[in-house]
């Protein structure tokens, strides 16, 4: 039986690679605010897997807050143009990622715990259990203010297979965003699909959606009837369904209320295919993220640049070996060099995003002024599966909540969750605690 089948509709729209047009002055985002209203704060978490070569990330500096070193090592050197807009953080730990008696599985844990800060339950399938991720906590509280409560973007397709890492289901590393402890929010990796979520499909018949509210009502009552008849375990699944319906209904209602004109996006429609070259894929996701923030389609996002334990190779920079395999270098200098190159390649994409955000005007400043963008990994030393002293950079000024341009090293074992608590505070959705937090990190806004 011969191979590929390609949706005809996709092909009708033409095959081509993504075209990103520069921002044109005449393209006005639909939701611009008046100049004197305070621009809302946005939050995005970018993730890279398998740890980072730490001595190429930041020099070993003492605890405390200090100006960023005059020169940054290889991996972070790409961020030099943004020195005054970034805060590098050291000493943060994810204790929940450690074994704590559950044996091997550091990658499964690292991915599942990165934004949830809990120790995920070791299971191959049944009863997944991690926590609610920081982005979803914010999303839930900010619901209704924007078209999308949150956006999950990614550049690597999920793994299908029972166990990804020693008894931890692949579901744990396929997503970093969790709406409930057992409901992952999968990332969309198709640029065209993200674009269409934000702006609608090009050839769509507007009439086609006329009855959708009534249809949603009908299926909603179907679900409630069903829910009343099923057992506890089934209820959990139907709850997910009901939540998703309600989420859709709210979005339709808020779109109607705001009577926004059709938004003219300031980029070309992405091609229908998924770019095979990582840099291209990452950049178009960064373009879409910038656009989503600019049009206030959402204020919360996550970008899974690669999945935890990713085996991706990077032939585009001359590395045909799998990323994860290389990070278990055991001191081999050649392998460490290759990992460093991959780390640099990833960091370049962050630099691209920061440039886009910095050059996009937003209210009385730029998008970067009004954002908090984190970039890091669930492991520091990928070879030793170390969950302490994690690499983390916080970019942006958080609408005044962050005073960047510094390096802060927190005391040993400071939970990463403390950073997330601080971020939620600055997003205007404070929480008492999150995961294993025991306070809020300081030094972000003080000098």
* Contact call for residue 228 and another protein (CB under 8 A): no
* Contact call for residue 245 and another protein (CB under 8 A): yes
Tell the smallest beta-carbon distance from residue 151 to another protein (Å). Answer: 9
Residues of this chain, 424-443, that bind another protein according to CB under 8 A: none
Which listed residue (26, 214, 411, 432) binds another protein by CB under 8 A? 214
Secondary structure of residue 127 in the 3-state scheme? coil
Choose the binding region for another protein from 204-212, 257-265, 336-344, 397-405 (rule: CB under 8 A): 204-212
Give the number of residues in contact with another protein, rule: CB under 8 A: 95
CA distance 384 to 329: 10
* Contact call for residue 282 and another protein (CB under 8 A): no
Choose the binding region for another protein from 11-19, 78-86, 301-309, 432-440 (rule: CB under 8 A): 11-19
Which listed residue (75, 142, 155, 185) binds another protein by CB under 8 A? 185
Choose the binding region for another protein from 6-14, 47-55, 86-94, 353-361 (rule: CB under 8 A): 6-14
Q: What is the DSSP letter of 380?
A: S
User: Comparing C-alpha atoms, which of 124, 218, 211, 209 is closest to residue 164?
Assistant: 124
Tell the smallest beta-carbon distance from residue 342 to another protein (Å). Answer: 17
Choice between 114 and 168, CB closer to another protein: 168
Tell the smallest beta-carbon distance from residue 269 to another protein (Å). Answer: 15
Residues of this chain, 37-96, that bind another protein according to CB under 8 A: none
Tell the smallest beta-carbon distance from residue 321 to another protein (Å). Answer: 8
Residues of this chain, 89-148, that bind another protein according to CB under 8 A: 99, 101-105, 124-128
Describe the crossing of helices 333-358 and 278-294 by its angle, rounded to 10 degrees. 30
Tell the smallest beta-carbon distance from residue 103 to another protein (Å). Answer: 3
Residues of this chain, 314-343, that bind another protein according to CB under 8 A: 315, 320, 328-330, 332, 335
Q: Which residues of 351-371 are buried (b: 16+ CB within 10 A; e: fewer)?
A: bbbbebbbebebbeebbbbbb
Which listed residue (30, 236, 388, 445) binds another protein by CB under 8 A? 236
CA distance 127 to 391: 31
User: Comparing C-alpha atoms, which of 78, 41, 36 is closest to residue 367?
Assistant: 41
CA distance 31 to 77: 35
Which listed residue (64, 144, 157, 264) binds another protein by CB under 8 A? 157
Tell the smallest beta-carbon distance from residue 247 to another protein (Å). Answer: 4
CA distance 71 to 251: 46
Count, residues in the chain: 447
Choice between 183 and 418, CB closer to another protein: 183
Residue with token string 């605890």: 63
User: Are residues 437 and 117 in contact, defined by beta-carbon separation less than 8 angstroms?
Assistant: yes
Tell the smallest beta-carbon distance from residue 265 to another protein (Å). Answer: 18
Choice between 193 and 429, CB closer to another protein: 193
Residues sharing a CB contact under 8 Å with residue 80, sequence separation 6 or more, in sequence order:
71, 72
* Contact call for residue 219 and another protein (CB under 8 A): yes
Tell the smallest beta-carbon distance from residue 244 to another protein (Å). Answer: 4
User: Comparing C-alpha atoms, which of 332, 331, 330, 326 is closest to residue 306?
Assistant: 326
Choose the binding region for another protein from 31-39, 232-240, 297-305, 344-352 (rule: CB under 8 A): 232-240
| 167 dihedral zone (left: phi>0; alpha: psi -120 to 50; beta) | left
CA distance 420 to 318: 36
Residues sharing a CB contact under 8 Å with residue 196, sequence separation 6 or more, in sequence order:
none
Pair type for strands 300-304 and 42-47:
parallel
CA distance 255 to 410: 43
Residues of this chain, 359-398, that bind another protein according to CB under 8 A: 384-385
Q: Is the C-alpha dihedral spanning 44, 50, 51, 57 positive or negative?
A: negative
Choice between 273 and 445, CB closer to another protein: 273
Choice between 7 and 35, CB closer to another protein: 7
Which listed residue (1, 35, 67, 70) binds another protein by CB under 8 A? 1
Choose the binding region for another protein from 3-11, 72-80, 260-268, 300-308 (rule: CB under 8 A): 3-11
User: Comparing C-alpha atoms, which of 113, 86, 295 is closest to residue 200?
Assistant: 295
Choice between 33 and 235, CB closer to another protein: 235
* Contact call for residue 5 and another protein (CB under 8 A): yes
Choice between 332 and 364, CB closer to another protein: 332
């Amino acid at each position: 039986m011969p191979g590929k089948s390609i949706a005809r509709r996709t092909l009708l729209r033409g095959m081509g690679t993504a075209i990103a047009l520069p921002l044109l002055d005449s393209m006005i985002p639909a939701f611009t605010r008046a100049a004197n209203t305070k621009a809302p704060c946005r939050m995005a978490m970018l993730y890279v897997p398998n740890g980072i070569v730490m001595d190429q990330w930041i020099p070993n500096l003492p605890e405390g807050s200090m100006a960023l070193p005059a020169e940054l090592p290889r991996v972070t050197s790409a961020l030099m143009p943004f020195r005054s807009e970034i805060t590098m953080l050291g000493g943060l730990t994810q204790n929940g990622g450690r074994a704590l008696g559950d044996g091997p599985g550091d990658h499964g844990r690292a991915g599942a715990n990165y934004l949830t800060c809990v120790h995920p339950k070791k299971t191959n399938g049944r009863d997944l259990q991690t926590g609610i991720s920081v982005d979803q906590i914010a999303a839930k509280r900010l619901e209704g203010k924007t078209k999308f409560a949150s956006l999950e973007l990614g550049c690597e397709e999920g793994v299908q297979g029972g166990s990804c890492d020693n008894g931890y289901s692949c579901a744990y590393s396929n997503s970093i965003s969790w709406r409930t402890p057992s409901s992952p929010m999968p990332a969309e990796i198709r640029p065209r699909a993200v674009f269409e979520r934000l702006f609608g499909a090009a050839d769509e018949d507007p009439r086609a959606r006329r009855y959708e509210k009534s249809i949603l009502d009908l299926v909603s009552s179907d679900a409630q009837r069903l829910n009343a008849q099923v057992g506890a375990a089934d209820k959990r699944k139907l709850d997910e369904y009901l939540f998703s319906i309600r989420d859709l209904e709210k979005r339709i209602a808020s779109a109607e209320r705001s009577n926004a004109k059709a938004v003219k996006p300031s980029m070309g429609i992405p091609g229908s295919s998924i770019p095979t070259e990582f840099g291209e894929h990452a950049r178009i996701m960064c373009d879409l993220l910038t656009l989503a923030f600019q049009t206030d389609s959402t204020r919360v996002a996550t970008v899974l640049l690669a999945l935890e334990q990713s085996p991706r190779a990077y032939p585009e920079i001359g590395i045909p070996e799998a990323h994860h395999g290389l990070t278990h270098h055991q001191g081999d200098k050649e392998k460490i060099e290759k990992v460093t190159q991959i780390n640099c390649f990833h960091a370049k994409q962050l630099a691209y995003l920061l440039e886009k955000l910095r050059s996009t005007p937003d209210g009385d400043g730029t998008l970067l002024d009004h954002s908090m963008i984190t970039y890091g990994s669930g492991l520091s030393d990928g070879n030793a599966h170390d969950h302490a002293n994690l690499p983390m950079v916080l970019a942006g000024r958080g609408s005044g909540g962050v005073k960047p341009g510094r390096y802060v090293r927190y005391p040993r074992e400071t939970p990463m969750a403390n950073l997330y608590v601080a971020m939620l505070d600055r997003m205007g959705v404070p929480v008492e605690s999150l995961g294993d937090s025991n306070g809020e990190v300081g030094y972000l806004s003080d000098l």
